[in-house]
């Protein structure tokens, strides 16, 4: 590959491309490294126990700092913002951040949440400018769901949060289910039955080797083709074209017209070639890949009095040098690398 390249995009301004000519379109912002769940595949209690040292407040970006960065990222071509975590709704007054960033451009602002606090938060978030929402739900069966969230949290409360989001107009709602062999593959069909015909889009996620604390093994992954075959047997499916470049989910529709599902198969069908995402951790580090081992410290730039132009130049330099394509290179060896935890960098 040649040197960093640039082109004129759909915007009137200059678009920065990375080494593989991928533009920067999406920014995922982790607003906290804390979560009220202890999902066994993400923040297992053995690692994230009572003594775990979460970030002290002074190290976490303020809403003003986040909003300033968003303004600069929008100048660089970012069109979509996803707030995540940790659990984003454990950060107090999150709707204030949404209200601060929604006037900064024609932005698609969305949020990924475990849904536990959503029933009370959906309306204030929508009023502040949130457009859509993704809710994680790994099973409707309480025994299975509680085994996975490991804090005894019932599925019905998450369904209440989904209903409140629908009432608040946060549509279309996406529901994400991580499938892990031996834990919840039995929940694939009940989840499909429950959500087909509701207008919500159920998306199955292959269990990934993010971070280093979940003890990932390839055997734990239920591959996309198996998920599709399981559903197709009861509800015939047909593949759909991606809605836009960089869409992570492979889409299928129910042939009887009851809606669509998505599969996020980062393990068996990597989508690095179209990846237009950057990730900002709660302490202000920029990561150019979910599987990155190191980030770029934007908090240091913000807090050392750099101007917007200087920060923009630094971001352009990081993005033009970006050559990550971890999922395409994944192997038994890379799975063992010391990577950043998903709860830290955001899903």
342 binds ligand SAM, rule: CB under 6 A: yes
Chain position whose Cβ is nearest to ligand SAM: 347
> Radius of gyration of the chain from Cα atoms?
19
Q: Are 270 and 20 in contact (CB under 8 A)?
A: no
Please pick, from the candidates 17, 31, 35, 289, the single residue that binds ligand SAM as defined by CB under 6 A: 35
CB nearer to ligand SAM: give 23 or 85: 85
Among 101, 150, 20, 22, smallest CA distance to 280 is for: 101
CA distance 112 to 288: 19
Q: What are residue 113's DSSP bridge partners?
A: 135
CB nearer to ligand SAM: give 220 or 324: 220
- Please report, to the nearest 10 degrees, the dihedral formed by the alpha carbons of residues 28, 260, 275, 113 taken in order: 20
Q: Which of these ranges, 10-18, 79-87, 162-170, 303-311, lies near ligand SAM under the rule CB under 6 A?
A: 79-87
33 binds ligand SAM, rule: CB under 6 A: no
347 binds ligand SAM, rule: CB under 6 A: yes
Instruction: Write down the least CB distance from residue 136 to ligand SAM, Å.
Output: 3
Among 145, 202, 194, 196, smallest CA distance to 173 is for: 202
Q: Which of these ranges, 3-11, 51-59, 110-118, 301-309, lies near ligand SAM under the rule CB under 6 A?
A: 110-118
CA distance 264 to 246: 12
Its sign, for the CA torsion 87, 106, 171, 273, is negative
The two three-digit tokens of residue 331, written as one number = 């192997």
Per-residue binder mask for ligand SAM (CB under 6 A), 209-248, x = binder = -x---x----------------------------------
| Terminal-to-terminal C-alpha distance of the chain | 29
Instruction: Write down the least CB distance from residue 211 to ligand SAM, Å.
Output: 7
CA distance 38 to 40: 6
CA distance 132 to 111: 7
CB nearer to ligand SAM: give 149 or 276: 149
Residues contacting 45, CB < 8 A, separation 6+: 38, 150
Of 165-184, binders to ligand SAM (CB under 6 A) are 176, 178
CB nearer to ligand SAM: give 23 or 347: 347
Please pick, from the candidates 27, 29, 40, 42, the single residue that binds ligand SAM as defined by CB under 6 A: 42
Please pick, from the candidates 31, 130, 175, 205, the single residue that binds ligand SAM as defined by CB under 6 A: 205
Please pick, from the candidates 16, 136, 184, 265, the single residue that binds ligand SAM as defined by CB under 6 A: 136
Q: Please report, as ranges, the residues that interact with ligand SAM according to CB under 6 A.
A: 35, 41-42, 84-85, 87, 112-114, 136, 176, 178, 205, 207-208, 210, 214, 342-343, 346-347
């Amino acid at each position: 590959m040649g040197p960093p390249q640039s082109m004129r995009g759909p915007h009137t301004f200059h678009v920065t491309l990375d080494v593989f000519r991928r533009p920067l379109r999406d920014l995922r912002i982790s607003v906290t490294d804390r979560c009220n769940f202890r999902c066994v595949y993400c923040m297992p209690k053995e690692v994230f126990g009572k003594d775990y040292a979460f970030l002290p407040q002074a190290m976490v970006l303020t809403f003003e700092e986040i909003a300033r960065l968003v303004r600069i990222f929008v100048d660089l071509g970012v069109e979509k913002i996803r707030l995540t975590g940790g659990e984003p709704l454990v950060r107090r007054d999150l709707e204030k951040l949404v209200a601060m960033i929604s006037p900064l451009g024609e932005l698609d602002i969305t949020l990924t949440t475990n849904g536990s606090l959503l029933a009370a938060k959906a309306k204030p978030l929508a009023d502040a400018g949130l457009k859509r929402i993704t809710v994680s739900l790994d099973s409707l069966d309480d025994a299975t769901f509680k085994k996975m969230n490991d804090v005894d949290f019932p599925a019905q409360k998450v369904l209440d949060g989904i209903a409140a989001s629908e009432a608040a107009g946060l549509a279309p709602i996406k529901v994400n289910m991580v499938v892990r062999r031996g834990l919840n593959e039995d929940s694939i069909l009940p989840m499909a039955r429950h959500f087909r015909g509701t207008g919500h889009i159920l998306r199955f996620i292959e269990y990934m080797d993010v971070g280093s604390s979940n003890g990932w093994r390839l055997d734990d992954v239920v591959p996309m083709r198996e998920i599709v075959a399981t559903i197709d047997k009861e509800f015939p499916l047909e593949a759909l074209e991606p809605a836009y470049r960089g869409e992570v989910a492979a889409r299928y529709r129910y042939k009887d017209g009851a809606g669509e599902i998505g599969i996020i198969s980062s393990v068996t069908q990597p989508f690095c070639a179209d990846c237009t995402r950057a990730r900002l951790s709660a302490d202000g580090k920029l990561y150019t890949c979910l599987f990155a081992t190191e980030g770029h410290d934007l908090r240091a730039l913000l807090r050392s009095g750099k101007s917007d132009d200087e920060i923009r130049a630094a971001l352009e330099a990081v993005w033009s040098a970006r050559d990550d394509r971890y999922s395409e290179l994944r192997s038994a060896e890379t799975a063992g690398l010391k990577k950043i935890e998903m709860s830290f960098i955001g899903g």
